[in-house]
Amino acid sequence: MAETEQPSGSSHEDDKPPNPVSFNFMLPKKEISMVPDMGKWKRSQAYADYMGFILTLNEGVKGKKLTCEYHVSEEAEALVTAVLPSQLCDAAPEVAVYLKEAVGNSTRIDYGTGHEAAFAAFLCCLCKVGALRIEDQLAIVFKVFDKYLRVMRKLQKTYRMEPAGSQGVWGLDDFQFLPFIWGSSQLLDHPTLEPRHFVEEKVVNEYHQDYMFLESIKFINEMKTGPFAEHSNQLWNISAVPSWSKVNQGLIRMYKAECLEKFPVIQHFKFGSLLSIQPVKP
């Protein structure tokens, strides 16, 4: 999944989903039980596959609106409806674990970037088994992930879910991170919108339906009161960055440092055959 382009000259046979027999599916389990285990995570195939997936989608949505035209294959539509096609039913127990982890903790009634990462891992697994494909990347972000965001925002509003592991005003957002990464990629090379504009309510109201970043800002404005610079200080600082490309690059670095390299987040991540704790092969 680390590649951002399909190899040239691929045949029709290459487009077929991989044979599920080639995977030894297993129920994912936690592997990071102590802080020193974080080294295993950063060297793992799971880390490489997950970040490759995030960056591939980041490239795919570059400069695109949420309302843009994109192709969703019949298999992908069936997949979203029924989780997995029948020929991949053996993968269902493993893949389903990530989906279950993606909606927050039912005991603590909390939700945070670790749960969001579980949903991205769920989508990554669907790509690894061939149920979703590289040409589905716009649909993955704009249809599936965006619908997931809408569901989670409704849950956050309805149940006033606690932000899991929130850093308060020093964090980027109480609940999400990926829509800011992919949303800033959407805005690369926009002819008029610059980072300084997203703190303007008029701009947010006019453009939020097209851009995931602005939709996220709109949700923050609905949920929080008081000066934006006080309740969302990190985002306020980002509005001073001169270009969306620098915002995007900075957010990717911040995501690695503040989410993927934090033990309280990764201790809950589960590893199986699709997202393996085994080291990346040289």
Model pLDDT for residues 156-169, shown as the tens digit of each residue: 888 777 776 655 54
Q: Residues with Cβ < 8 Å from 102, sequence gap 6 or more?
A: 115, 116, 118, 119, 122, 148
Comparing 77 with 89, the larger pLDDT belongs to 89
The lowest-confidence range among 6-20, 118-132, 240-254 is: 6-20
pLDDT at 170: 56
pLDDT at 277: 96
Average pLDDT, the chain: 84
Give the predicted TM-score (pTM) of the model: 0.85
Q: What is the pLDDT of residues 162-192, one digit of tens each?
A: 776 655 545 688 789 999 999 999 999 999 9
R_g over Cα of the chain:
19
One DSSP character per residue, 147-160 reads HHHHHHHHHHHHH-
Burial 173-191 (b: 16+ CB within 10 A, else e): bbbbbbbbbbbbbbbbeee
Distance CA 44, CA 260 (A): 12
224 — alpha (psi -120 to 50), left (phi > 0) or beta?
A: beta
Closest to 268 in 3D by CA, of 38, 27, 31: 31
Burial 30-55 (b: 16+ CB within 10 A, else e): ebbeeeeebebbeebbbbbbbbbbbb
